[in-house]
Amino acid sequence: MAKLHELSASELAGRIAAREVTSRQAVQAHLDRIREVNGYVNAVTVVLADAALEAADAADNGPIKGPLHGVPFTIKESIDCEGSATTLGIPALKHAFPRVDAPVVARMKAAGAIPIGRTNLSECGLRLGAGNPLRGTTLNPWNPNLTPGGSSGGDAAALATGMAPFGLGNDMGGFLRVPAYCCGVAALKPTAGRIPSARSLEPLDQGFAMQAMLVEGPMARTVADLRVGLSVLAGRDIRDPRSVSAPLQGPPAARKAALVTRIEGADIAPATLIAIREAGRILADAGWEVAETGPPELGLVTETWGRLMAIDMTVMLEAAGPILSEPLVRYMTRMCRFFDSARIPNGALHSARSRLSRVWSGYLAEYPVMIGPTLTRPPWPVDADLDPESGLPMLLEATRFITPGSLLGLPSVALPMGVADRVPAGIQIYADLWREDLCLEAAEAIENALPRITPIDPTW
């Protein structure tokens, strides 16, 4: 029989609801697992042991509150959790305690889930890694020399090693999807506005890129848990003016999937190509129509995304530069110079974004599901993205299929597809706006044909 820390969130919730195990047993099993393996990977930065055990006892002595009753979960240190600092990995914010929970944390608690720990991220959540001057560096549990991805790398590494069955992260440039790929777990990047994002610490209002592209989302080891997470987290919250309440199930769509096996400006890793085609074979065997075809205007998508990011980064450097580390300042400066927003007026950027959204929605009307790489290459060595010469070109090539979800607000699922060369292989599944149900349907069909690869022991 599987140990408690090996169960998915849904499996654990089912056993707690059936009184086969108590919430205290579930929480204690994960606290024990954190104690056992966190020293290897540095994924959990703050352990909320006393509060979690107290909440577990309350869960065991009260009625079932929701679909995640009694289940522990982790929270990235960029998301407000009352009683724990929202540090963003910045030493100056070590004591930045929020006044109230973020909407996603409040909704998880309302569904019966129990915060068990805070997780690591890249400084300010701006890099595709998980290291910062305050908490140190999170290591990939499959290979300590490789990045775990980021910026939600702490959650991904915690999930991959069984320290929690569910995690909360966020995404503006692959920050959920990339670490899921690197660590061999699953993540859902929702449609922008589907899940509310709000802070209780200044600045409450962010720049345009963050307003348009930042989303909160779930990470887990199974698609079923992503589905439950979406049902718990979705819906309007007045603290986020972008957020809406929209149906989680859309109208019937053709069972057609586009396989993206060629990307202009990037070479897709052989293991990823095998994974994409294996996903297509599984769907074809299940009755889907599958075709290899290229996505529209990826180069312009990435350029537009980068220029919008550069606008926010320029303002951020002016306001927060003195409290950021020198490596991050240099990294952001390179980004701003490469994507010089002054070369294209703001109005032209917004017009380009609007047109590209229309083009991609038209494409996804023909192929309701699009399957391609998460990253075009395997995980890179820790901090290779900071190299002043090769770092930025490597990132831009690797994330060619990440930027559409960010710029255009599209939903996507990052799904593990086994192991190749001793690191996880994976795919990314896109659908049109508000059609998370199609991403999840395809992901579940693929997942059901594959063995689960996590949790693992990070003992190398």
> For residue 460, is pLDDT > 80?
no
Tens digits of residue pLDDT in 401-440? 999 999 999 999 999 999 999 999 999 999 999 999 999 9
CB of 239 closer than 8 Å to CB of 75: no
In the three-class reduction of DSSP (H, G, I as helix; E, B as strand; rest coil), residue 152 is classed as: coil
Which among 225, 263, 38 has a CA at the least distance from the CA of 113?
225
DSSP codes joined into one string, 80-137: -BTTB---TT-GGGTT---SS--HHHHHHHHTT-EEEEEE--SGGG-SSS-EETTTEE
Tens digits of residue pLDDT in 191-240? 999 999 999 998 888 888 889 999 999 999 999 999 999 999 999 999 99
> For residue 400, is pLDDT > 90?
yes
Tens digits of residue pLDDT in 165-189? 999 999 999 999 999 999 999 999 9
Residue 207, pLDDT score:
85
Mean pLDDT computed over every residue of the chain: 97
Q: Identify the bridge partners of residue 9 per DSSP, sorted by sequence position.
A: none
Residue 346, pLDDT score:
79
| 124-155 residues labelled b (16+ CB within 10 A) or e (exposed) | bbbbbbbbbebbebbbbbbbeebbbbbbbbbb
Distances (CA, A) of 276 to 29, 189, 280, 443: 36, 19, 6, 12
Using CA atoms, how far apart are residues 79 and 4, in angstroms rounded to an integer? Answer: 26
- Name the CATH superfamily for 8-300+341-447: Amidase signature (AS) domain (3.90.1300.10)
Decide: pTM greater than 0.85.
yes
Using CA atoms, how far apart are residues 381 and 275, in angstroms rounded to an integer? Answer: 22
Q: Is the peptide bond between 455 and the residue preceding it cis, with omega within 30 degrees of 0?
A: yes
List of residues 6+ apart from 265 with CB closer than 8 A? 298, 299, 397, 400
Tens digits of residue pLDDT in 81-126? 999 999 999 999 999 999 999 999 999 999 999 999 999 999 999 9
Q: Mean pLDDT, to the nearest integer, of 24-37?
A: 98
Distance of CA 361 to the CA centre of its chain: 22
Residue 165, pLDDT score:
98
Instruction: Give me the amino acid identity at 322.
Output: P
Q: Which two tokens stand for residue 383?
A: 């901090």
Instruction: Give me the amino acid identity at 263.
Output: I
- Reported confidence tier of residue 448, pLDDT bands at 50, 70, 90: very high
CB of 102 closer than 8 Å to CB of 83: no
> For residue 1, is pLDDT > 80?
no
Which among 229, 184, 232, 192 has a CA at the least distance from the CA of 210?
192
Which among 208, 219, 214, 235 has a CA at the least distance from the CA of 181?
219
